[in-house]
């Protein structure tokens, strides 16, 4: 059984399983799938300030905290117990392109030349990790939800704002990946 769990699953198995999360949450508890509100719930539970944004009945949303904790725990279990210790498979074209940006260690999930504690204090690392994280957080708040909430739950509920948000996520991702990221990687 561990052999089956430790190998990547094809899209036609993993995709429907992710997609079935939405109707299960709706049918079992009338809940929406999304992770971006988790930080708000944690702040509402832990921050004793009189900030109106954090003053609501967060205990009604405690299921979301358990859901996010389960995702985190599942990632830890998968990363430690189900790790195949084989290098991540990427195409030779991608490996060649990454080498032009001095990224040669592609054995892990993320390139160590970009994502490690030493690179955090460089301009490139600051842009990728701190500024990028801020923009993701700001965009999530501005769009009223994250990519998983809009693209999985919102689209399955036929919500027009989720379609607009998902299109914007995709266009923004294509623009950044093809036109902005290459300049950042050359820093």
Q: For the whole model, what pTM was predicted?
A: 0.70
| pLDDT over 80 (residue 98) | yes
Q: Which residues contact 35 (CB under 8 A, 6 or more apart)?
A: 64, 67, 68, 71, 146, 148, 149
- pLDDT reported for residue 13: 92
Q: Residue with structure tokens 């260690």?
A: 105
- pLDDT reported for residue 163: 93
Mean pLDDT for the chain overall: 85
Query: Rounded to an integer, what distance in angstroms lies between the CA atom of residue 154 and that of residue 147?
Result: 10
| pLDDT over 90 (residue 106) | no
Q: Angle formed by the axes of helices 21-29 and 11-19, to 10°?
A: 20
33: closest CA among 162, 135, 119? 162
- pLDDT reported for residue 121: 85
Buried/exposed 158-177: b ≥16 CB within 10 Å, e otherwise: eeeebeebbeebeeeeeeee
**In the chain, what are the domain boundaries?**
1-86, 117-187
pLDDT confidence tier of residue 69, bands split at 50, 70 and 90:
very high
Q: What percent of the chain has pLDDT over 70?
A: 99
Residues 50-62: what's their mean pLDDT? 85
Which two structure tokens, joined as six digits, stand for 14? 């993993």
Which two structure tokens, joined as six digits, stand for 29? 């508890």
Residues 27-32: what's their mean pLDDT? 83
Structure-model confidence comparison of residues 107 and 45, the more confident one: 45
- pLDDT reported for residue 132: 87
- pLDDT reported for residue 73: 95
Residues 156-166: what's their mean pLDDT? 89
- pLDDT reported for residue 30: 85
pLDDT in tens, 122-139: 888 888 888 888 888 888
Structure-model confidence comparison of residues 149 and 163, the more confident one: 163
């Amino acid at each position: 059984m561990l052999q089956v769990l430790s190998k990547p699953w094809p899209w036609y198995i993993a995709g429907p399983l992710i997609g079935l999360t939405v109707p299960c949450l709706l049918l079992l508890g009338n809940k929406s799938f999304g992770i971006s509100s988790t930080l708000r719930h944690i702040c509402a539970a832990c921050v004793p300030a009189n900030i109106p944004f954090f003053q609501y009945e967060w205990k009604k949303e405690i299921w979301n905290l358990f859901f996010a904790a389960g995702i985190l725990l599942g990632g830890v279990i998968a990363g430690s117990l189900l790790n195949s210790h084989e290098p991540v498979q990427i195409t030779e074209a991608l490996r060649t392109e990454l080498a032009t940006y001095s990224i040669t260690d592609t054995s892990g999930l993320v390139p160590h030349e970009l994502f490690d504690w030493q690179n955090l204090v460089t301009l490139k690392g600051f842009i990728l990790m701190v500024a990028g994280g801020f923009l993701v957080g700001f965009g999530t708040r501005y769009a009223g939800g994250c990519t998983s909430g809009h693209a999985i739950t919102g689209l399955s509920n036929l919500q027009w704002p989720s379609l607009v948000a998902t299109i914007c996520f995709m266009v923004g991702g294509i623009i950044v990946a093809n036109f902005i990221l290459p300049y950042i990687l050359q820093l």
